[in-house]
């Protein structure tokens, strides 16, 4: 069911024309900073992949991809991508990218099962990136180093935006705060995972929650993750499982924690087998992507996605992602947004 967060006294700081210009400034500036900071080369990514190859990201495992038949392939089914989590790793192997370097691409997707609100749209646009690593970099310390590099690009982008539009004031803290999902659960034992995210992110401003997908002390994961890209089961130097996580930023306009990035060190052979077994997905070992990984044909890597529209929404102090991107919204949401001064594209 769609919903609209309650916003009071909302006044856009930029008009629609300034907003469109700001979106371009942010996207151009941030992706160049990201590429330089992480040593990434831009590549062209697909909008759709063949069904049955195991390449598409199945997110939490319940979302239905948009599909269509391909006439010239005997009506084989294609799937519009959810993200390019697995495709990127195949591309690293194909391009023979060396450790310390990687790729990024403009990813456009359709997620038909999204519950629409101020942050969730049918249309998803993000920078999908992936970088080759060595075996000794498969640890939480290296993960945190990459997160700090990404956050540094976010801080530089904020400075650029505030210089271009003086009516927009800085809001990001100087540093990002790290916490494991189990530590967060113990800190707020009576809250739901989303409530915990809001509590810690409001307190810290910018947070990276480690260990998304692994069962916590109460037997439940903080949030779902597909078993075949992020490594959420390897025991880290923290003594807790998980080499992945989410970047969250506090948005004082909608009074919510906004997930900007889901990322992590990717599964190696052992982690893939372990996570497929624990999730009951062993049949995936027969798929193209999984066979390549199990046969040692794919490099070790770290990667993730960074939401473009959400990032722009934060920087430009907007109340709804529909002020940044053109999508389809229920009529009642459009009516409510109009009353609140929210201009949906």
57 has catalytic annotation: yes
- Active-site pick, 58, 158, 259, 323: 259
CA–CA dist 80, 287 (Å, integer): 18
Q: Which of 111, 131, 138, 196 is catalytic?
A: 111
Which residue out of 31, 83, 121, 126 is catalytically annotated? 126
Length of the chain: 345
Instruction: Give yes or no: 246 in active site.
Output: yes
Show Cβ contacts of residue 183 under 8 Å, excluding neighbours closer than 6 positions.
240
**75 tagged catalytic:** no
259 is an active site residue = yes
Query: Which of the following is catalytic: 246, 251, 268, 323?
Result: 246
Please give the Cα distance from 50 to 55 (Å, whole number).
8
Beta bridge partners of 105: 128
Determine which helix (DSSP H) or strand (DSSP E) holds 182, and give its type and residue range.
helix 181-187
Any catalytic annotation for residue 195?
A: no
Burial 92-130 (b: 16+ CB within 10 A, else e): beeeebeeeebbbbebebbbeebebbbbebbbbbbbbbb
Rg (CA), the chain: 20
Instruction: Answer for the pair 19, 316: CB distance below 8 angstroms, yes or no.
Output: yes
Distance CA 233, CA 267 (A): 9
β-strand partners of 209: 179, 246
Residue 125 bears catalytic tag:
no
Pick the catalytic residue from 57, 117, 125, 228: 57
Which of 83, 121, 261, 262 is flagged as catalytic? 262
- Whether residue 206 contacts residue 173, with contact meaning beta carbons closer than 8 Å, is answered with yes
CB neighbourhood size of 288 (10 A): 14
Q: What tokens appear for 148 in the block? A: 């700090």
Which two tokens mark 261?
A: 């990035």
Active site positions, annotated: 57, 111, 126, 246, 259, 262
């Amino acid at each position: 069911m769609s919903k609209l967060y309650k916003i009071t006294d909302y006044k856009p700081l930029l008009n629609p024309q300034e907003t469109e210009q700001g979106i371009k400034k942010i996207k151009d500036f941030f992706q160049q900073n990201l590429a330089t900071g992480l040593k990434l080369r831009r590549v062209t990514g697909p909008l759709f992949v063949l069904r049955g190859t195991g390449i598409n990201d199945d997110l939490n495992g319940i979302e239905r991809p948009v599909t269509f038949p391909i006439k010239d392939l005997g009506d084989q089914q294609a799937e519009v991508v959810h993200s390019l989590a697995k495709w990127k790793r195949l591309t690293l192997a194909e391009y023979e990218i060396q450790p310390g370097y990687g790729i990024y691409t403009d990813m456009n997707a359709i997620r038909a099962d999204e519950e629409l609100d101020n942050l969730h749209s049918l249309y998803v646009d993000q920078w999908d990136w992936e970088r080759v690593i060595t075996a000794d970099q498969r640890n939480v310390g290296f993960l945190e180093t990459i997160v700090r590099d990404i956050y540094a690009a976010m801080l530089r982008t904020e400075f650029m935006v505030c210089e271009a539009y003086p009516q927009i004031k800085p809001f990001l803290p100087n540093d990002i705060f790290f916490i494991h999902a189990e530590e967060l659960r113990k800190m707020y034992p009576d809250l739901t995972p989303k409530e915990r995210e809001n509590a810690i992110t409001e307190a810290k401003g910018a947070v990276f929650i480690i260990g998304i997908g692994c069962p916590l002390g109460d037997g439940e994961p903080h949030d779902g993750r597909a078993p075949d890209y992020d490594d959420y089961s390897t025991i880290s130097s923290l003594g807790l499982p998980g080499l992945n996580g989410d970047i969250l930023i506090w948005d004082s306009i909608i009074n919510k924690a906004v997930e900007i990035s889901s990322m992590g060190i990717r599964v190696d052979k052992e982690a893939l087998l372990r996570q497929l077994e624990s999730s009951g997905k062993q049949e995936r070992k027969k798929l193209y992507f999984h066979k390549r990984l199990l046969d040692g044909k794919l490099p070790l890597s770290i990667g993730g996605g960074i939401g473009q529209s959400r990032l722009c929404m934060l920087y430009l102090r907007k109340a709804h992602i529909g002020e940044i991107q053109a999508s389809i919204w229920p009529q009642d949401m459009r009516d409510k947004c109009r009353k609140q001064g929210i201009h949906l594209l």
